[in-house]
Every structure is written in C-alpha cells, then in structure tokens.
Amino acid sequence: MDMPDTVTSTEASASGSLDGDYDDAAGYYTPGAPLVDAKAPSGPIAERWQNRKFEARLVNPANRRKLDIIIVGTGLAGASAAATLGEAGYNVKTFCYQDSPRRAHSIAAQGGINAAKNYKEDGDSVHRLFYDTVKGGDYRSRESNVYRLAEVSTNIIDQCVAQGVPFAREYGGLLDNRSFGGVQVSRTFYARGQTGQQLLIGAYQALERQVSAGTVSMYARHEMLELVVVDGKARGIIARDMVTGEIQTHLADVVVLASGGYGNVFYLSTNAMGSNVTAAWRAHRKGAYMANPCYTQIHPTCIPVTGSHQSKLTLMSESLRNDGRIWVPKNQADCDKDPRDIPEEDRDYYLERIYPSFGNLVPRDIASRAAKYQCDDGRGVGPEVDGTRRGVYLDFADAIERLGRQAVETKYGNLFDMYARITGEDPYQVPMRIYPAVHYVMGGLWVDYDLQSTIPGLFVTGEANFSDHGANRLGASALMQGLADGYFVLPHTIRDYLADGPFERISEDHPAVVEARESVTSRIEHFLTVNGERSVDSYHRELGNIMWEYCGMERTETGLKKAIDLIRGLKEDFYRNVKVLGSAETLNQSLEKAGRVADFFELGELMCIDALNRRESCGGHFRGESQTEDGEALRHDEEYAYVSAWEWAGEDSIPILHKEDLVYTAIEMKQRSYK
Amino acid sequence: MNLTLKIWRQPDAASAGAMHTYQLADVSEDMSFLEMLDVLNEQLNDQGEEPIAFDSDCREGICGTCGLMINGEAHGPEVTTTCQLHMRSFSDGETITIEPWRSDAFPVIKDLVVDRSAFDRIIQQGGYISVNTGSAPEAHSVPVPKDDADRAFNVATCISCGACVAACPNGSASLFMGAKVTHLGLLPQGQPERDERVVNMVAQHDHEGFGGCTNIGACTAACPKEIPLDVISQLNKDLRTAIRNGH
C-alpha cells in the first residue's frame, strides 16, 4: 500500500502538448454530452464541505425508521456506512458475498492510514494532505472531493481509537506515526503490518452492534446480481442466497454500492479470490457511468508467479526497497544460475544505472515498468512460466553486511518470514525475487460530490467509486477514503436525497422488478445449460493474460486494439463453450464465478477503450506513444484534464463517452520529473 | 509429486456425507494447499464431476475464510492458515485426508464449507465498544500504556477462522472469545461495558452449542495467529469479576 509517486521529485511546471488531433479510440465509442457535477460546491475550498453539510436537508429522527437503505459490501466503506446509518435510526440491509462481514478484502491492507493530525508537528496540515493527494493522483482527481477527504481524515482516527482499534503507540501512551512511501511528513497511523485488519474489525464490531440493536439486517453469503431501477431511480437489488440458491428481491428507498475494486479482471492480482465487479457492472448496465476504468495501480514488490496453477499474488511492503538492491543478470545465460554464483560484474543493477539519483527508490510505476522491460528482454529470473521468467532479484546481501543481520531482521523480519513461507527460500541467504502485480483500481463508478452516481438513489463509496485518487493513489490512502466515505461523508449527503422519501412503495410484481429477476434467472440458466468444454477459471485466466499484456503496465494503440479483438472473441467463445456443473439450488462456486467472469469480459473491453482514448501517460497509466525523449511519462493537460465517464449503450452498441473537465482553483498543475 | 486425496463430500446440510478418494498427479511443491485443490477441481470439472466446494478468499492468511482439517489437524501440519500452507510440507506418494471443521456449532453447508455465523452472533452480544460515529473524543485525550496497547494488538489479530473450535475435543470457542474480551478489556475505552460484555458473550457461546473449556490447550496449538492460552484465564477472571459485581 505504500507508494511514493510524488516524493522527492523535482518539478517542472510545463506540460506536454500534442502535435496533432489524435483520437485512437475513434470508432470504438460515441462522443456524448459533457458531464457536469451538479453538486459541485463553490466558494473557498476550505469551506465547501461545511457548506454542503449545512445545505443538505435533514431527515426527522422519527422518519428515519421509515426509510430503507440497502448497502452492498461490508469492507471499510460499507461496514462503516451501515453502522453509522443504523445508529442514526434508518432501516439498513447489508449484503456481502463472504460468510461474515469481517472478511471483506479491506482486511488485507498492510501499511497504514493517513490523517492530517500533525501530531509530529512536522508541517503537516489538511491542505498539505490535500496537495499531496492531488499531486500523487497526477492531477486527474476532483479537488473538492480530495480536500474533503483530507479534512475528515482526522475524525477517522478519533473514531477508530474510541472503538478500541489498537494502533501502535509510543512509550508515553500516545499514538505513533510513520512516514510512508517516502512522503516528507509522518502522518501514517498503523497497527503493525495489519492496519486494514484492525480498522475493519472496528467497523465490523460497530456494524454487529447495530445488528444487535435491530437497525441493521445482515445478509452474509448473498451476492447482488442486479440493480432494480424504477422510474429512473435505484429502488433495490436482486440477490442470490449463495447457500440455497434462492433469488431474492430486496426493495428500498436508496441503494449504496461499497463493493470494492475490480483488479481481478487481470485474474492474478493482490485482490481476494471473490473480489469482483458484478454489483458495479450491473449498475453500469442500468445507467450508472463508469469513470476512468483504465486507471489501475500496479505494485512493484510482489512475490512472482510460480506456475499456471497460481491463483493470486501476494504483496510485500514496498519499504523493502529502502535497503534491498534490485538487479538481473547481464547475460541471459546466467538467468537460471544460483544468483550467489553470479559475480558482481555480471549483474545489472538497472534502476541504479538508469536513475542514478533515485536508484531503487524510483516511484512505483517506474520500478514496475523497468522490471517488465528486463524480463521481456529475456533477463528475468526464477521459474519459467509460459516461456518467460518473470522476476527480478531484490538483494539484501549488502544491507546485511552493512547493518548486520540483526538490524535487517528487526526492520523486515515479518516480511522475510512471509516470503520464506510462500517460496520456500531463505531471503537472508538467497536474494528475494519480486515482480509487479495489480493492486488497486482508481477507476470506478462515476459519482458527484454527494457520492451519488448518474442513477438517482444509487450512491457509491470506497474503491468502487472513482472520485479521490485520480490516476494514482498515495500509499495509506485507500483505508482513509473507505472510512471517510462511510463514517463521515455518505451519512451527510444521503440525507439530502432521503429527505424526499419515503418513496412510493413498489410491489414485487412491478415490471421493472420482474425484468431484473428474469435477467438474473436467465443468465444462471444459460450458464448451467451450455455444457461446453472449458472451465470458468480457464477463461478467466486467459482474459487476465490479455489484460496484463496489453492493458497493464504499458499500453499502446496497436496492443489495445488487438486486446479488444481478443476479448470479444474470447467472450463469444465463453458463452458458447463454458462448462458449469452442479445446480442453481445449492452452493455452487463455479456458477458464482461464471457470472463474475462474464462481467469482467465487458469491463475489460471498456478498460481497453478507455486506455485507447487517453493517449497520454499519467499517474500509473503509461502510454507508449506519450513519453519524453528519455522514455519518461508525458502528461497532456490541454487535451486530457478530464474524467472519462462511460455510458452503457446496450449489448450491441459502442459505449458513449462523457467528459467531465477537471478544474483546479486551489492548486497549480505541475508535471512530475525525477531524473 | 503424486498424491492420494481422501476428501469429505456432502451435497448439502441435510444429506449424509462420505469420504471420497481422488488421485492427483504432478503436484508442484510451490503450490499452496488450496491451489492444489484448484487443480483437482479443474480435473473434476473436465471429467464431468462437480468440483469440491471449499471456502477461501484473501489467500494471504488474514481474512480467516479458509480452514480445513488436514490429516486430523486444523489448518494442517504448519502453524499457519490453510491458504498459506504449501505442498512442500507433504511428500510424494502421500495420502492426505481433508475434512471440514467438525463442531455442532459449525454445521456443514456443503463438502468442506461450514457455517460459522455463530461467531458473528457472539460478537453481537458485546464484542464491541459502544461509540456512535462522530461522538469520539480527540484521539490523544486518552493515553494507553504501550505495553497494554501492544498486548491488545497481539490478541486482536484473531482472524475468526474457527481452528480453535475444530481442534478442541469439547468444541469450545473460548480462545476466540477470550481474545476479544482481552483485547477490549486491556483498553481504557473498553472498561464501561467490560462486565456486561463477558457475561453476554459467554451466554451466547453456550447457547450456540459450543462446549466448555477444560484447559486442554489444543486451541492455541492450532491457532494460526498464535493467540496465547492465557486469554482464556482472562476470560474466566473477567467472568468471575462480573458475576461478583452482580451481573
């Protein structure tokens, strides 16, 4: 989770510009009307959130229990919202696909959570956290939203401490902070390497307290498979009870999606096995725009793939790069040798060579891309998978010699243990092997300042929305955003919408409900009756390879167009030739996966179209056609300082692109440079 | 390596289950245990037999979703979760027996998947600190001694996987409960509800059908997060104090 996309870099206030009038994606989409955030607040940036909270209408406490809220997902963004809205007295129904709300994938976040407490008196402030976040996002996020995030960050820490979250403390009993991802202030609160787990347990316990109080009903092992839209408003969901197979209709006054990110479109990622896009994608098909879907964060220090059996990738903290030296053999012939037998002069410390001033501490995207180039060049190390060795060495021999084994153990002991457990190799003796992996997606459903999507009554929080991280996310900011949305933002903005409720009751035989149910049952029936040749996983793996190859660390026009063709072909084959056994009336994990993979196909195609349209390199997104003479990322503010919001136009139509211009009043746009 | 796998299969909660035997060839020692089952499932799917249902999610040892009895040991031979167990812990030609958690309070849903919702219901009875959003005081207004904070963290790392219950001959969830009671009881914020918390959680535990603790210690030996046995002493101590205080 750590990351330094901005840090220690010098800046030039120039921005690249394009010579011609490019539209690589012409023919793949239809241009739509510009999109404007109707809830965008005005006035001095520091007053916008206070003003919005004041202007948002109130709901009388006596009326709250007459209002029904559905929340999908119980990670930080969902559980915190469910607890808070339950406490406020609304009638909340919460859904998760896991067997308990406490298992949502927020639990796996390691590093920490940022907050502008300035406990270290080192010059931090709300404005500095805001500034760092916008800059880290490479000027592709919305400034009002980011400012609000920084503003409420301090309340999050107070709330979590009161809940009993055991943050690290100093000997005086006060909270400890560390600097993260190289930022120059210490604003990161942490609970050893398990901050996400402890924050989620705090939110989960608050949620269970409301279950006990009767304000929240929990539906675990339930998966949302369709959104119910009546008269243009989100009014409920169709969910499948994953144990009995029952297809259920749940109606409400408002629906909140807190369903997480879609990194699993790449098959291999650091996401949980079940993480998926279905809830968000079904909403997209019903009218919610999908924003910046191609913005993906790739993390450079993950444990490499060992074979085609690989089911997921494991992240190791990026702090390892502070002391480890990254290298590959100079000669391809040395790639399968014991690295300890390769003499110093035959090693290429390529980051130190190419970037002498930053060396192994170059930003995430640079480190990731450089590793890919070495491996593509045939100089990767580790096991050969599909004909290529995908790994580079991260070597601690020098650090052990300089600092002593004891010091290295104190700093990195738990990471070394984790590495040894997974690979069976001892990193104190043999260099670690690392490779980049998909970790987080900045893209997501488009929301306005109130976190409401383009479907009235559908709100989206946490990683599932696009709003705060622009084209790249700072380390320790995902946890901050999830909890900010759920505890402190949504509960205020949703009341303005609910002030018009309760809305007219809907019966389960309303045509819109019947249509949504039929769409779910016919899809299930289709998957169970194809009886083809190939498993769902085999399609998912193939889709993931296409995405990783052409829509991963570096994208080009040719590659993206090829990927779109490949995805379309594979999707067609999937519907004709997939093999899903078992029945719809019991727990059926293949059936669950089939629905998710079907949606990943459509998302993957849209990601490629989005990447094709954005002929610039920004944040974690590198376009081969947009680089400086030195091969560095080149942003084009004149042409691309917009949010791409995509509208679904139907099964057989190309998507419609609406652009929301990004305007900065409180901050100046700068181009990053670090050489 | 080549393996013989004896695996519990049960169509649903109402039906009877039985052990089935499968052969799996060419297993790599770099596979995790669950990846080995993935490969078996692909093989079964190809042969037209429904894949074996088992739970897993994060596959990095933190979410607590996975959990299998492997050769009679909860999470198998290493001190870790099933997802972090790798095939290099086994040898070529070995027969491996795989069963679900066995406990009255964890009914089998299908094959290797069990229902652990009893844990959530125990937490609902007091495994929290009552503080509404927005009503929290400034975080630094209440210092917590570092030793207490560190110890609270150590026991708060429980992942709620249920291995303690599966390993216990009595099917007791005392280690799970003790971890939560100790975590919240060590913090100043946890004091106001301390008596009520332990009494209500223990009552729910017994109501769910978990057994009593007789200090065998199999729970802590099986715990992938190495929650120490003394949290059960703390649980009993807190319960005694609460009863003495009239709860």
DSSP single-letter state for residue B50 = P
Minimal C-alpha gap between A635 and chain B (Å) = 35
As a whole number of angstroms, the distance between CA A171 and CA A449 comes to: 41
Find chain B residues with C-beta within 8 A of A198's C-beta: 153, 156
Residue of B nearest to A189 (CA): B139
Residues in chain A: 675
The token pair that represents B173 in the structure block = 């969830």
Q: Given an 8 Å threshold on Cβ–Cβ distance, is A83 in contact with B137?
A: no
pLDDT at B142 over 60: yes
What pLDDT score does A365 carry?
86
**Is B147 an 8 Å CB contact of chain A?**
no
Interface touch A107/B160, C-beta < 8 Å? no
CA nearest to A535, candidates A580, A576, A569: A580
- Give the H/E segment covering residue B127: none
Place of tokens 């920004």: A618
Helix locations, B48-193, DSSP H: 117-124, 146-156, 163-167, 174-185
- Report CB contact under 8 Å: B86, A422: yes
For residue A465, the 8-state DSSP code is B
pLDDT per residue over B87-104, tens digit each? 999 999 999 999 999 999
Judged by CB atoms closer than 8 Å, whether chains meet at B42 and A155 is answered as no
Q: Do A209 and B49 touch (CB under 8 A)?
A: no
Contact B63 A174 (CB under 8 A): no
State whether residue B42 sits within 8 Å of chain A by CB: yes
Split chain A (675 residues) into runs of 10 and give each run's mean pLDDT: 37 42 89 95 96 97 97 98 98 98 96 95 96 94 97 98 97 92 86 94 98 98 98 98 98 98 98 98 98 96 94 90 94 96 97 91 88 95 92 96 92 89 95 96 98 98 96 93 98 98 96 98 98 97 97 96 98 98 97 98 98 95 93 92 97 96 93 63
- The SS3 assignment for A256 reads strand
Q: Taking CB atoms and an 8 Å cutoff, what residues of chain A touch B113? A: 587
pLDDT computed for residue A184 by the predictor: 84
* Interface check B38 vs A, CB under 8 A: yes
Nearest to B64 among A103, A157, A166 (CB): A103
Nearest to A501 by CA among A91, A196, A199, A124: A91
CB contact (8 A) between residue B35 and residue A80: no
Q: Nearest-CA distance from B140 to chain A in Å?
A: 6
Distance of CA A509 to the CA centre of its chain: 37
Interface of B with A in 192-211 (CB under 8 A): none
pLDDT for residue A205? 98
CA R_g for chain B = 20
Beta pairing class for A30-31 and A656-661: parallel
For B88, nearest residue in chain A (alpha carbons): A424
Show the beta-strand stretches assigned E in A108-253.
Answer: 113-114, 188-189, 216-219, 222-230, 233-241, 247-251
Question: Chain B residues with CB inside 8 Å of A157's CB?
Answer: 139
Under 8 Å between Cβ of A181 and A318:
yes
Whether B149 sits inside 8 A of A169 (CB atoms) is yes
Q: Is B79 on the interface with A (CB under 8 A)?
A: no
**Contact assignment for B109 to A587 by CB distance below 8 Å:** yes
Closest CA to A68 of A392, A504, A666, A592: A504
Please give, rounded to a whole number of angstroms, the shortest distance from the CA of A557 to a CA of chain B.
34
A474 within 8 A of A184, measured Cβ to Cβ: no
Question: Which of B53, B117, B143 is the closest to A174 by Cβ?
Answer: B143
Which residues in chain A have Cβ-Cβ distances shorter than 8 Å to B79?
none
pLDDT of residue A17: 45
Residue A95, both tokens? 């859904």
| Coil, helix or strand at residue A211 | helix
B65 — contact with chain A (CB < 8 Å)? yes
A477 closest CA partner among A119, A198, A156, A71: A156
The domains of chain B, with CATH numbers, are 3-104 (3.10.20.30), 116-132+142-244 (1.10.1060.10)
Chain A residue closest to B161 (CA)?
A: A103
CA pair distance A604, A294, nearest whole angstrom: 9
Q: Nearest C-alpha of chain A: how many angstroms from B216?
A: 28
User: Is-contact A365 A619, C-beta < 8 A?
Assistant: yes
Q: Sort strands A91-95 and A216-219 into parallel, antiparallel or unpaired.
A: parallel
Q: What ipTM was reported for this prediction?
A: 0.98
Among A107, A218, A309, the residue with its CB nearest the CB of B38 is: A309
In Å, how far is B196's CA from the nearest CA of chain A?
14
Of B36, B110, B146, the CB nearest to A169: B146
Task: Count the neighbouring beta carbons within 10 Å of the beta carbon of residue A227.
Answer: 27
Dihedral angle computed from the Cα positions of residues B184, B185, B187 and B189, in that order, rounded to the nearest 10 degrees: 70
Q: What pLDDT was estimated at residue A448?
A: 98
Spacing of C-alpha A249 from chain mean position: 29
Asked whether the beta carbons of residue B48 and residue A211 sit closer than 8 angstroms, the reply is no
Q: What domains, with CATH codes, occur in chain A?
A: 299-438 (3.90.700.10), 511-642 (1.20.58.100)
Q: How far is B71 from chain A (nearest CA, A)?
A: 20
Query: CB of A437 within 8 A of CB of A269?
Result: yes
Query: How near does any CA of chain B get to the CA of A609, in Å?
Result: 30
CA distances from A564 to A183, A284, A559, B145 (A): 38, 19, 9, 57
Tell me whether B89 touches chain A (CB under 8 Å): no
Residues of A in contact with B29 (CB under 8 A): 424
Per-residue confidence (pLDDT) for residue A632, from 0 to 100? 87
Interface of B with A in 103-142 (CB under 8 A): 109-110, 113, 115-117, 119-120, 123-125, 127-140, 142
Which residues in chain B are closer than 8 Å to A169, comparing Cβ atoms? 143-144, 146, 149-150
**What is the token pair recorded at A201?**
């347990």
| Candidate from B34, B131, B153 with C-beta closest to A162 | B131
pTM: 0.96
Which residues of chain B make contact with A197, given a CB cutoff of 8 A? Answer: 62, 157, 159
Catalytic residues of A: 364
